[in-house]
Chain A
Amino acid sequence: MAGSTLENPHRKWVFFALVARAVVGGLFLISAYGKIVVPELFAEEVRAYEMLPVVMTNALAYFLPWVEFFAGLLLLIGFWRKEARFVIGALLIVFTFAKAYTYARGMDIDCGCGGGVEILKYIYNSPQGIVTNLVLLALLGVDWRAERLGKAAVPEPGSGVSPGR
């Protein structure tokens, strides 16, 4: 197929995007599971951040993990990909600010999102959690780039332009 106009010139990016979505979506599913199973613990941790009115924390502990779960699932399977990426990106930015804020105040808060997996607990806790979130944001950037290149590679019907040119 070398030289064929039907060959996707961005296959490398498609592969990177698949890996990126698997990593981000998978981590979001696992961390959401940890929070869904024990909402009491997650509510306590939200309170420990001291960033929200206490009265809202239980509701957030019920609601937020499910947002993570569905967004992670959608990203993983590539359905409503852009929207899932937007939701996850927004959550990661909020989480990163929250972690940086508590770290700057010398607070050490378990995120409790490892779902019993020690290595995940480690990478999510601050200050590693800040780095992890930034890496996940970068992976979302990879997926965004791949999607844009993929769209650019598909010609408008009747334009006469070969894919990838």
Chain B
Amino acid sequence: MMRTSLIRILVIVGVAATAGFIRARDLPWVTDVAALEAEEELHNTLREGVGISLEGMLELVDQGAVVIDARSREEYEEGHLLLRCDPAVLNVPGDEIDKHVTRLMDLQGLPVVLYCTSYICDYAEDLYITLEEFGFTDIWIYFPGWEGIVEAGLETTTGPDTWTGYYDEPYDDEANTPSEVEP
């Protein structure tokens, strides 16, 4: 009886391991510890150097800063910070930065504040690195992110990012390019 149970448990574990193996994609099975440490070091450096408080972010907005939400399009459309300025809060998902470069170049020279979901989200930091590469010099990150904004009770809104008509047209997955409309 015990032996049958043990075999069945091993079967469950074995099938699970096989399923995990079949489903495995981008993430390597063996964690690249050195790469993780380098990433962690970079994030720590950014957190110490370019983190901004909520008050600091709003002060910069008053001075004409652009705020960019680095979360996914779906998350942004479900809710994002409401600013009554132009451009309002933009949406540049951290894993689609290359598709937004053209319109972001128009903002060069302005201070930029980035936010993501919370401290555990790295998209704002990825976006920071890209913007720096493209010549932006005054970039800040609000690390508490969307959770901090909601907690602080700031005004929020829903819907797509329409600045430059970016999401007015359906996203074209096949072409892998945004259907951008010139302002």
Contacts and interface: CB of A to CB of B under 8 A. Distances in A.
Secondary structure type dominating chain B contacts: helix
A8 interface: no
Contact of A55 (B13, B21, B33): B33
Nearest to A83: B8
Interface stretch (A16-24, A61-69, A119-127, A138-146): A61-69
Contacts of B12: 67, 70-71, 74, 80, 83-84, 87
Contact of B16 (A57, A58, A70): A70
User: Per DSSP, are chain A's interface residues mostly helix, strand or loop, or mixed?
Assistant: helix
A59 B120 CA distance: 21
A70 B15 contact: yes
A67 B16 contact: yes
A64 B19 CA distance: 10
Interface centre among A48, A54, A66, A67 (most CB of B within 10 A): A66
Size class of the B contact interface (CB-based, 8 Å) = 20 to 34
A44 B5 contact: no
Contacts of A39: 23-24, 27
Interface in B75-98: none
- Interface size class, chain A: 20 to 34
Interface string A124-139: 0000000000000000
Interface string B14-58: 011101110110111111010010000000000000000000000
Contacts of A67: 12-13, 16
Nearest to A62: B20
Nearest to B12: A70
A86 B5 contact: yes
A63 B30 contact: no
B16 to A, nearest CB: 4
B9 interface: yes
Interface string A73-117: 010000010111011000000000000000000000010000000
A54 B23 contact: no
Interface of A: 36, 39-40, 43-44, 47-48, 54-59, 61-67, 69-71, 74, 80, 82-84, 86-87, 110
